[in-house]
Structure 1
Amino acid sequence: MITCTVRYEIDPDKLSEFERYARFWLRKIPEMGGIHHGYHLPHEGPNDVAYCHFSFDSLAAYEAYRAAMWDDAECLRAYDFATRTKCIRRYDRSFTRPVLDGASAGDLDL
């Protein structure tokens, strides 16, 4: 599994628009084969930084999603919404491998 973390620089005066954009992707990513772990909007600290995290089974699955979204009318509508409202100033993506299964203290013994 691979997790994509997106760090957004958003316009704090357009937080409601960004949240509308985020809510679309919370539904769309699972429809396109991924798992969405949620958006994290500003609360304390910087008022112009937000994050989202979503996973796909592999980097190849993520790349297939990225290719498919450019042919999906709903995805294009979402990108158009973000462009028109200018709620997103910039974003960066990074990829990590999640550790999701817990272990006992006994597993720490060498």
Structure 2
Amino acid sequence: MITCHVRYVIDPYKVGEFEEYARLWLPIVARMGGTHHGYFLPAEGANNIAIALFSFPSLSAYEDYRQLMVNDPECIEAFELEKLNRSILSYERSFMRPVLP
């Protein structure tokens, strides 16, 4: 299993818009074979950092997801929404492996 950790720097005045964008991805990742662990939005502390965590069975399964999303209508809709909202200022993507019992 591989888990993708995405750290977003968001516009603190557009948290609602970012949440709308985030909610679109939860079922998309599941439909494409992943497990979404959720988006984590600012509550206390920094008001411009959000996190997403989602897993795929393998890095190659994640790469398949990335290829499929290019032409997927729901993915395109989500990307277009973010182009309009401009809530994401930047992001960093890291891949991790879980330590499980």
Taking the aligned partners of 2:17 and 2:100, their CA distance within structure 1 comes to 32
Taking the aligned partners of 1:35 and 1:3, their CA distance within structure 2 comes to 9
Report the structure number with the largest CA radius of gyration: 1
Q: Which residue of 2 aligns with 1:27?
A: 27
Q: Which residue of 1 aligns with 2:39?
A: 39
Q: TM-score, normalised by structure 1?
A: 0.89
| Corresponding letter in the other structure for 1:7 | R
Taking the aligned partners of 1:80 and 1:12, their CA distance within structure 2 comes to 20
Structure 2 runs not aligned, ≥5 long: none
Structure 1 runs not aligned, ≥5 long: 102-110
1:84-103 → structure 2 map (5 Å cutoff): 84-101=84-101
How many residues are matched? Answer: 101
The sequence identity of aligned pairs, in percent, is 55
C-alpha RMSD of matched pairs (Å): 0.7
For residue 17 of structure 1, report the CA deviation from its aligned partner.
0.7
2:38 is the counterpart of 1:54:
no
Q: TM-score, normalised by structure 2?
A: 0.97
